[in-house]
Structure 1
Amino acid sequence: MIPKMKVYEELLDTKVVAVIRGKNAEEATAISEAALEGGMRAIEVTYTTPGAGQVIERLSGTDALVGAGTVLDAETARHALLAGAAFIVSPHFDPEVARLCNRYSTPYLPGCMTIKEMVLASEAGCDILKLFPANGFEPSFIRSVQGPLPNVRIMPTGGINKENMNSWLEAGAVAVGVGSDLTKTYRASGREAVVESARNYMAAVQR
């Protein structure tokens, strides 16, 4: 198991998390491996993908930082941890998932949209909060939140692409989650196009 603080350090360093939603385990694995070849280091395999646990187990044997996404309850979170997930991501905040992740010293990144949700998640020990869906907000929302909550770290996900990614990071996001762009690229143009897209993302964030 990767130490909790090491996971946070890697997320903050890489700044881009590839959110993978595949129609099956084979597709999700192919997209993930292409993203990794293109230089992405953090992968979030969503539990809307059939066989997500198999994908996590396979990828966790590599140098990638592999987490589980769309985790709706503690049972799914435990399944993901047993498969080798290094972090857990939800579209919402669930206190039972937070409790389980704290028990096993695993980062939990819950989806939050309101100040109340962010306060509750922070009080439950969540150090990075996922703003989801981010396409319903402007990057300036982060500065507005950090007025009353200066210690909140936010990772916007949903509607993030190469064109707006750096606007979010410059506004104070500690990382961003990107996903649909990679999946669409794979289905339209194949594996090598995903590799190239991942390279472009990482080059853009380095600039």
Structure 2
Amino acid sequence: MKHHNLERLLESGVVAVVRKVDRDKVLSVIASLVKGGVTAIEVTMDSEDALSVISEAKEKYGDQAVIGAGTVLDGESAQLAIQAGAEFIFAPTLSEQTIKVANRYGKIVIPGVFTPTEILQAYEWGADLVKVFPASVLGPQFIKDLQGPLGHIPMMPTGGLTLDNVEGYMNAGAVAAGIGGSLLNKTYIKNAEWDKLTDLARQFVSKCKRT
């Protein structure tokens, strides 16, 4: 199951970071992203009612996208998210405890890393892939340079990725991209312009999808 979900997560190349969206709009946002072809939805743990949003999203859209939890800082939070139905655990930092909990329950775990040492450490601890964060500080060249010594470790840049720069990261060797603010357009969400959000999602998927 984990392998199948990992394939689904990587299918569109986009992991949408859904952070602090109004509770009354969050499921419409997720629906719009899924309609646009996004196959992985991350609900951050610092969002309102995050655990019930994960449960509801999985129930409604789990057959179309992998639903997971983000901003998971420790093993306890990982366990709560998994109990709520999260299929993957996305973290901004590297915590061995978080990785162990996810592995114990057979869930995908993607810890945040910033250096080659952290990338290798995360993988040795059992990470499925690593979240290079914040990617905009490092740039695509960082991903490219690591393909030689650490090319066996799948990398997902996150932080500061846009329609204009995301292709550079994918071409440098990234397996997917974590995309937040540039995908979750605040104006579209505020005005409930779901078709525009879906179209934006399609544009990101077209630049990130593995061919």
The 8 Å contact of residues 19 and 178 in structure 1, kept in 2 or not, is answered as yes
List aligned pairs for 1:8-47, cutoff 5 A: 8-47=6-45
Residues 1:88 and 2:86 aligned together: no
- Summarize deviations over 1:182-202 as a string: whole Å, max 9, x none: 142434543232122112222
- Aligned partner of 1:186 in structure 2 is 188
Partner deviation per Cα, 1:71-109 (whole Å, 9 max, x = no partner): 011111111111111100000011111111111111110
Amino acid aligned to 1:118: I
Count the aligned residue pairs: 205
**Partners in 2 of 1:119 and 1:81 — Cα distance?**
25
Residues of 2 paired with 1:91 and 1:27: CA distance?
25
State whether residues 31 and 183 of structure 1, in contact with CA within 8 Å, keep that contact through their aligned partners in structure 2: no
For structure 1, list consecutive stretches of 5 or more residues without a partner in the other structure. none
Q: Look up the SS of the partner of 1:17 in the other structure.
A: strand
Residue 2 (structure 2) pairs with residue 4 (structure 1): yes
CA contact (8 A) 1:16 1:178 kept: yes
Structure 2: distance between partners of 1:69 and 1:102? 16
2:55 to 54, 57, 75: 57
Q: State how far apart, in whole Å, the 2-side matches of 1:184 and 1:99 are.
A: 35
Question: Aligned letter for 2:169?
Answer: W
Residue 129, structure 1, aligned to residue 127, structure 2: no
What letter is aligned with 2:201?
A: A
Instruction: State the TM-score, normalizing by the size of structure 2.
Output: 0.91
**Partners in 1 of 2:33 and 2:176 — Cα distance?**
16
| Structure 2 counterpart of 1:204 | 207
| Cα pair 2:43 2:50 within 8 Å, conserved | yes
Q: Does residue 1:117 correspond to 2:118, yes or no?
A: yes
The secondary structure found in structure 1 opposite 2:148 is coil
Q: Percent identity?
A: 38
